[in-house]
């Protein structure tokens, strides 16, 4: 266990990858500030993890709420050592661009792209005061390669990759590292939703992956632990791809 009394803020922590990260960082001894729009889910997570965990209902597309989340972490624990911008959604319908709804575009961009910008901005303001910090953005394989019938999600995740690299250049001299994780197809609510919409994809996609299986949320969480640790201390502006070889 590397950490003692460091604080990690995780958005989208009530389920999926965010929940796996919350469990992993708790095991590493972090003080946790967990956010999600799902209050019921957050309460269950808090009851499971116990001490040194506070939760807050946050809509990441609202800057005042994100800023309040950072202030809550500082007020409770004194610092924000690790900020994980994980909250994300997918579109309601997987369709070609000409058929894509404005609502799916606006909603996905608001959470996945603008929400990450807000999370970075609020965390960076605090980290500059501290003189150090570590930001981990959750992008996607869809931010590195084409994702047909999914234009808003692809656009948002490509944006996360670009924002990560740009901000990493700006703050490297300030002792603030900023990296991204790009999961491939991993067990999550988003993947389940896609298979519900198009069940025929489940076996077909798996056969495209050299490992012939989908990723586990715990495997993505392990990558976040590494990025948050001193073992990756010379790494910034990078996108760590965990996809079972699919991008090959």
Number of domains in the chain: 1
Residue 73 · residue 8 · CB < 8 Å: no
Q: Answer yes or no: is 183 within a domain.
A: yes
Residue 247 falls inside a structural domain: no
Helix (H) / strand (E) element for 110: namely none
Q: Is residue 2 part of a domain?
A: no
Provide the domain limits for residue 121. 7-242
Domain assignment of residue 248, yes or no: no
Cβ-Cβ contacts under 8 Å for 186 (sequence gap 6 or more): 17, 214, 215, 216, 217, 219, 220, 242
Query: Cα(first)–Cα(last) distance of the chain, in Å?
Result: 34
User: What does the alpha-carbon distance between residue 144 and residue 215 come to, in Å, rounded to a whole number?
Assistant: 17
Q: Which of 48, 11, 58, 9 is nearest to 30 (CA)?
A: 9
pTM: 0.94
200 occurs within a structural domain = yes
Is residue 1 included in any domain, yes or no? no
Specify the CATH number for the domain of residue 211: 3.40.50.720
pLDDT tens per residue across all 248 residues of the chain: 444 589 999 999 999 999 999 999 999 999 999 999 999 999 999 999 988 999 999 999 999 999 999 999 999 999 999 999 999 999 999 899 999 999 999 999 999 999 999 999 999 999 999 999 999 999 999 999 999 999 999 999 999 999 999 999 999 999 999 999 999 988 777 777 667 777 777 777 888 898 888 899 999 999 999 999 999 999 999 999 999 999 98
153 is catalytic: yes
Q: 56 lies in a domain?
A: yes
Q: How far apart are CA 114 and CA 63, in angstroms?
A: 9
Nearest to 20 by CA among 1, 54, 52, 48: 48
Which of 118, 153, 171, 214 is catalytic? The answer is 153
């Amino acid at each position: 266990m590397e950490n003692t009394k460091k604080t990690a803020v995780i958005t989208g922590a009530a389920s999926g990858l965010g929940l796996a990260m919350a469990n992993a960082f708790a095991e590493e001894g972090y003080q946790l500030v967990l956010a999600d729009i799902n209050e019921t889910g957050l309460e269950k997570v808090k009851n499971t993890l116990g001490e040194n965990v506070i939760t807050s209902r946050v809509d990441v597309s609202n800057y005042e709420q994100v800023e309040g989340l950072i202030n809550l972490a500082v007020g409770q624990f004194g610092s924000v050592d690790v900020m994980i911008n994980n909250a994300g959604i997918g579109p309601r319908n997987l369709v070609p661009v000409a058929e894509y709804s404005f609502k799916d575009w606006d909603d996905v961009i608001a959470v996945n792209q603008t929400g990450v910008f807000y999370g970075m901005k609020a965390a960076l303001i605090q980290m500059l005061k501290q003189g150090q910090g570590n930001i981990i953005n959750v992008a996607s394989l869809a931010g590195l390669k084409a994702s047909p019938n999914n234009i808003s999600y692809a656009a948002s995740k490509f944006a996360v990759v670009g924002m990560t690299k740009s901000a990493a250049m700006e703050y490297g001299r300030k002792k603030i590292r900023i990296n991204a994780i790009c999961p491939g197809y991993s067990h999550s609510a988003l993947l389940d939703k896609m298979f519900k919409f198009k069940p025929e994809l489940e076996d077909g996609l798996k056969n495209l992956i050299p490992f012939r299986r989908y990723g586990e949320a715990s495997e993505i969480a392990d990558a976040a632990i590494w990025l948050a640790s001193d073992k990756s201390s010379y790494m910034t502006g990078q996108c760590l791809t965990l996809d079972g070889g699919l991008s090959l």
